[in-house]
Amino acid sequence: LMECGLFACSPVAPTLAVDLCVLEFMRRLFVWLTPNTTAWCEALESFLDAQGYQLKSKDNLQRRFSNAYHWYTVLTIHAEDHITGLVHSPQVSEQQGARLQPSDYLCACCPLCFGGGGPQRANADQEE
């Protein structure tokens, strides 16, 4: 489902898949508003009903959407923490305890700033 841009409401036999863009929109919306997936699901059901679509059960949408939203939020927090760890964990000399070069993540993001031509980076490349 992730390859198709969808996030499942459960890891096994999901009954609802939510578009990743919708989940990201909700995550950003809830930064500015009080998180209320119940109201959002009610509005969605009302909108779909006006378009001629009927959902079989209301409570299941709210529960399943909330579950998908919760785990999407957990996943994005862990991803941000992981990237922050990569950015702020420089390679350190065990003997000297000093920074030898920027992290591989920073070098990959901007070789000009963090990996190109500096004396520390050139020395590290020669050692490899």
Residues 71 and 64: their CA atoms lie apart, in Å, by: 11
Residues 68 and 44: their CA atoms lie apart, in Å, by: 15
Of residues 128 and 19, more confidently modeled: 19
* Torsion on CA atoms 38, 41, 46, 49, rounded to nearest 10: -140
19-33: b (≥16 Cβ within 10 Å) or e: eeebbeebeeeeeee
**61 neighbors 54 (Cβ within 8 angstroms):** no
Domain boundaries, the chain: 2-86
Tell me the pLDDT tens digit for each residue of 68-121: 999 999 999 999 888 887 777 655 555 555 556 677 777 778 878 877 544 444
**Share of residues in the chain with pLDDT > 70 (%):** 77
pTM (predicted TM-score): 0.62
Of residues 21 and 59, more confidently modeled: 21
Give pLDDT, residue 14: 85
